[in-house]
Amino acid sequence: MQSALSLTIALDAGHGGWDIGAQGAGRREKDDNLRLALKVKQELQAKGLGVVCTRADDSFVSLAERARLANQKDADLFVSLHRGAFPTPSEEAVGVAGYIYPTASLETSGRAAQLTLSALEEIGVQRVVGISRGNSPVLRRAEMPAFMLEVGFLTNQEDNRLFDQNLGGYARAIAKGVADFFGLNFEQNATPVSTPPPIRVVREESAILDMQQLLEARYGFGLSASGRLDRQTRRALVVALQIELNGEYEAQIPVSGDICPQTLASIRPIHSGQQNGLCALLQVMLILNGYEPGEVSGDFDRKTATALRFFQRDKFMTPDGVAGAKTLLALING
């Protein structure tokens, strides 16, 4: 189980520099975002978590650069902090809200956002709007679970009062939501508890070598271990798929290493609860693509489902955790 010291949080203070963001009541969003981000950074570091800030002063950083920095640092979670605004007074334009990318997994990005909103609610907000899906470029580019928070509206007097009054409390709540997401006890310096950490992409050459050796041992394609998901490895995966489909469903597909209509027609959805060679092959495919389904056991368990959903999210598919023909082809093609 991971400890706090092994985790890195990417903390993104929205806007900055010439990009002032929203405005209201004489306030600028970029300033409030930075005030809160620096407080959250202190809280996270006090609990032993590593923090990388996309900006730590009033400077402009492009959305692409923010995501690139988080990806480069191999962050485990991306948290983007914002405040909202509304041109005219509205009962709806109050409170805190969370946003995740349209294809983001509810089990990773969604759960992190929900835990953080719940922690903020305990401190005191006018209302919790909930979690919505939004096509944010910075969330799209992040290679780890990611969410955006809007902590009150600049155009609402009471939201502003609560933000100023509870700034330290809000920072602790956000840090607590992060700790809860990773299964860490925030009140005891983030010591691990029973909740497992989320899946994250870790594309390691050694893991690919292991999977290539396993494929060769099981299916005898003549595969050379290169440490890359190369053309030969993709053909070996097709051979393995054809062999497994023949064994599981008596499909009588010619084992050629080429995707043919008969191969596609023989694929049936692989889903949670199944245990067979096709599940084991799915786990191999996930590892080759840099995801972590656990051991190659042939048991389609919760960890396998989570890794699969994360892969589907990153490929802009519906993250349903079911491996049909479209998903298997995406895994083979890398």
CATH of the domain at 327: 1.10.101.10
- Geometric angle at alpha carbon 114, from 36 and 273, rounded to 5°: 145
pTM exceeds cut of 0.75: no
> In the block, which residue shows the tokens 């959250």?
40
Asked if residue 152 is part of any domain, the answer here is yes
In a shared domain, residues 188 and 292: no
In a shared domain, residues 22 and 81: yes
In a shared domain, residues 66 and 184: yes
**CATH code assigned at 12:** 3.40.630.40
In a shared domain, residues 12 and 56: yes
In a shared domain, residues 20 and 99: yes
Asked if residue 197 is part of any domain, the answer here is no
In a shared domain, residues 139 and 223: no
Residue 52 DSSP one-character state: E
Asked if residue 301 is part of any domain, the answer here is yes
In a shared domain, residues 226 and 94: no
Determine the pLDDT at residue 200.
Answer: 39
Q: What is the mean pLDDT of each successive set of 10 residues along the chain, which is 334 residues long?
A: 73 96 92 97 93 95 93 95 86 89 88 93 92 88 94 95 96 95 71 39 66 87 83 92 91 91 93 93 91 88 84 77 93 89
- Burial-class residue 248 by CB neighbours within 10 Å (0-12, 13-18, 19+): middle
Q: Which domain holds residue 286?
A: 205-333
Number of domains within the chain: 2
Strand partners, 12: 80
Boundary-marking domain end, from 139, 159, 192: 192
